[in-house]
Amino acid sequence: MSTGADRRAQWRDLVARRLPEAARPGWPVRLDHCFARILLDNACGGPWRDSVAAPAHANMPADGLEHAIALGEAVLAGTADLALLNRRSLAWRGKIRRGKIRRGKIRRGKIRRGKIRRGKLRRSEIATAPMPDGLQDGDLLLRRWRPADTTPFAALNADPAVMEFFPRPRTEAESAAEASSYDRRFVADGFGPWALERDGRFVGFVGAFRIMRAMPFPGGERVGATIEIGWRLARDAWGHGLATRAARLTLADLAGRCGIRSVVAYTASGNRRSLAVMERLGMVRAETFAHPAVPEGPLRSHILYRLEQAGVSA
């Protein structure tokens, strides 16, 4: 049996037998197709049928299926919150309407019948306060992504200087998919990487990510529990303090609206510009680690910084 066939067999066994057999009180679902929906949606960053033809296990790219399996294994190991994964999936599918959750309960008719047991949500499933239209500081505007952002974002991602500390530049198609996935994070989590404008022109992004893979640093083993702040700006926007200003707007929104006070940031060890931004934000260097998604080589070594919101620099 080929490696691909092995992984497909592992997937079928995971969702058809192991997860249903392991279902316990407090889990929001018990049926195989529900487990498949949750894991596939989170691996795809949105409803899986939007990007993968059925059957998913046969048509999903290998890295996507690996991610879905890893999420399922984390649920079984107790290092991923199935309720959180379910809420993200339901939000993408329009089954959770923002602003309809009150005191941890679902008001009648706001979630389709049978999707949430006993009509209650865990705290991890409760949406953040309604999102603002944007976050502004003088000539800077953080806002949701627009179709018109695709072209300048692709140009940014094709610039070798901007992508110096990534394994390679992005293609135009990859950039479009990345922009779409970033905007869907706002639907799933109530926060995400904002598109950044200066004087009305798109210059990149700055914002927060819920890390949906296990990472090899303390706390990172719990999938979805760690929030990262990150940025990527066009080369002509460097050197003006834009990343620092926009990151401070993001941090204030995370603390005030979302109640998120602990964040991390990391980058390749040689990326002095990003490391300087972390220092200006008052972040504290924590450790060096090998990024599991980066191939062996000089870019794999990453430096991790941490910040408690009480320590945000003015």
Q: How far is CA 233 from CA 124, 229, 236, 280, 302, in A?
A: 32, 14, 8, 17, 19
* Residues 6+ positions from 2 with CB-CB distance below 8 Å: none
| Each residue's pLDDT expressed in tens, for the chain with a length of 314 residues | 468 899 999 999 999 999 999 999 999 999 999 999 999 999 999 999 999 999 999 999 999 999 999 999 999 999 999 999 999 999 999 998 654 433 333 333 333 333 333 333 444 444 467 889 999 999 999 999 999 999 999 999 999 999 999 999 999 999 999 999 999 999 999 999 999 999 999 999 999 999 999 999 999 999 999 999 999 999 999 999 999 999 999 999 999 999 999 999 999 999 999 999 999 999 999 999 999 999 999 999 999 999 998 645 54
* Angle between helix 62-77 and helix 32-44 axes, rounded to 10 deg: 120
CATH of 134-311 given 3.40.50.2300, 3.40.50.80, 3.40.630.30, 3.40.50.2000: 3.40.630.30
d(CA 305, CA 226): 12
d(CA 38, CA 43): 9
- Label residue 266 exposed, middle or buried (CB < 10 Å: 0-12, 13-18, 19+): buried
CB 91 within 8 A of CB 123: no
d(CA 203, CA 240): 12
Structure tokens at 219: 């706390």
Name the 3-class secondary structure at 30. Answer: coil
Rounded (5°) CA angle 42-216-212 = 10
Q: How far is CA 151 from CA 160, 171, 178, 233, 235, in A?
A: 16, 11, 12, 14, 15
CB 135 within 8 A of CB 118: no
d(CA 197, CA 93): 29
User: CA 187: distance to chain centroid?
Assistant: 11
Which residue(s) pair with 194 in the sheet?
206
Q: How far is CA 237 from CA 57, 75, 156, 189, 243, in A?
A: 42, 41, 11, 28, 9
User: CA 206: distance to chain centroid?
Assistant: 13
Q: What is the pLDDT of residue 9?
A: 95
Taking the domains of the chain in order of start, what are their residue ranges? 3-125, 134-311
Nearest residue to 248 (alpha-carbon basis) of 135, 143, 156, 129: 135
Query: What secondary structure does DSSP assign to 75-124, as a single string?
Result: HHHTSB-HHHHHHHHHHHTT-S-TT-EETTEEPTTSS-TTSSGGGB--GG
* Backbone torsion region of residue 32, taken as left when φ is above 0, otherwise alpha when ψ lies between -120 and 50, otherwise beta: alpha
Name the 3-class secondary structure at 203. Answer: strand
Nearest residue to 269 (alpha-carbon basis) of 286, 282, 288: 288
Nearest residue to 185 (alpha-carbon basis) of 146, 211, 165: 211
